[in-house]
Structure 1
């Protein structure tokens, strides 16, 4: 199961169930994908096929939606 937290301009922001304990978010787009840590700080863990402009846009959206991501993560893993 991989719940979608939100979508933005063709990007899907989601996480995989039971992948690992550290809060992070995956992002997929037609051109590539990325994984971003939220702990201890918001930080790009990896990316493939995305431009630096796209990475910047992704990180901006994660900062903007950080509370929503954390709430979704906590809600999903408490169930």
Structure 2
């Protein structure tokens, strides 16, 4: 479960056992979690984050999209 970014208490990470799914990132904070598809920057699942929090997380994800995709490919060997 490699952490690829920490931002304002949020932890951006991959779950190593999610082989076979399209590239995505999980963002965790205070028991909340959002899963974001990296190719389209769309929400796959949100548990607990308010809409304004999701918007902020999407902005940060967009800023790091290329680095996150490279980290995904390095981790999963694509």
Same fold (TM over 0.5): yes
In structure 1, C-alpha distance between the alignment counterparts of 2:16 and 2:32, rounded to whole Å: 21
Instruction: List runs of 5+ in structure 1 lacking aligned partners.
Output: none
Q: CA deviation at 1:67?
A: 1.0
In structure 1, C-alpha distance between the alignment counterparts of 2:32 and 2:21, rounded to whole Å: 24
4+ residue runs over 6 A deviation: none
- The equivalent of 2:51 in structure 1 is 52
- Residues matched between the structures, number: 77
1:14 paired with 2:13, answer: yes
* Other structure's SS at 2:15 match: coil
In structure 2, C-alpha distance between the alignment counterparts of 1:59 and 1:29, rounded to whole Å: 14
1:63 paired with 2:62, answer: yes
- The equivalent of 2:72 in structure 1 is 73
Instruction: List runs of 5+ in structure 2 lacking aligned partners.
Output: none
Q: Provide Cα deviations, 1:27-57, integer angstroms capped at 9, x if missing partner.
A: 0001511000113x11011111111111001
When the two structures are superposed, what TM-score results if normalisation uses the length of structure 2? 0.90
- The equivalent of 1:35 in structure 2 is 35
* Other structure's SS at 1:71 match: helix
